Amino acid sequence: MTIVVGYLATPEGEAALAAGVAEARLRDARVVVVRSRRARQEEHADIDVELDGLRDRLDEADVAYEVRQPGRGKDVAADLVDTAVETVADLIVIGLRRRSPVGKLILGSNAQRILLDAPCPVLAVKSPAAGDDAPF
């Protein structure tokens, strides 16, 4: 079994990672974390440190995993759906954030595209309340 997790270093990304790890433990599944790229201003050194920390946390969680960082050119929804198709995923886990109606109109909705285009079930989670941690 494979669980694909959409991840960015945000509260929503952390919630998705925690839920993905929990599901992997329940299902004895492998986790494929897709760390999509943000804006161009990301520094490679910062990304490398983030990915190293992510791998350390997954090692501590004691689940089988793979971390992917797709190249530029695709968007978050395409990255996740393509990874789910490629790995024959059983589940995609994404984090959601509240957006204004104008924000949805201008920027589109990656979550909606993932829900509609995914080849498998999608678990959408919200970040915990401020001050709560999302431990594995």
pLDDT in tens, 97-112: 776 666 555 545 788 8
Backbone angles phi, psi at 68, to 5 degrees: -120, 145
Name the percent of the chain lying above pLDDT 70. Answer: 78
Burial of 83 (0-12, 13-18, 19+ CB in 10 A): buried
pLDDT confidence band for 73 (50 / 70 / 90): low
Contact criterion met (CB below 8 Å) for 17 and 6: no
Mean of all residue pLDDT scores within the chain: 85
For the whole model, what pTM was predicted? 0.85
Residue 25 has pLDDT above 70, yes or no: yes
Domains, the chain: 2-126 (3.40.50.620)
For the residues 116-129, what does the mean pLDDT come to? 91
Structure token digits, residue 134: 């999302």
Residue 84 has pLDDT above 90, yes or no: yes
Identify the pLDDT of residue 111.
86
Closest C-alpha to 93, from 21, 44, 28:
21
Identify the pLDDT of residue 3.
98
Contact criterion met (CB below 8 Å) for 84 and 118: yes
Identify the pLDDT of residue 130.
47
Cα distances from 46 to residues 8, 41, 129, 131, in angstroms, run 13, 11, 26, 24
What's the CA gap between 1 and 18, in Å, rounded?
Answer: 17
Closest C-alpha to 30, from 58, 63, 53, 56:
63
Contact criterion met (CB below 8 Å) for 61 and 134: no
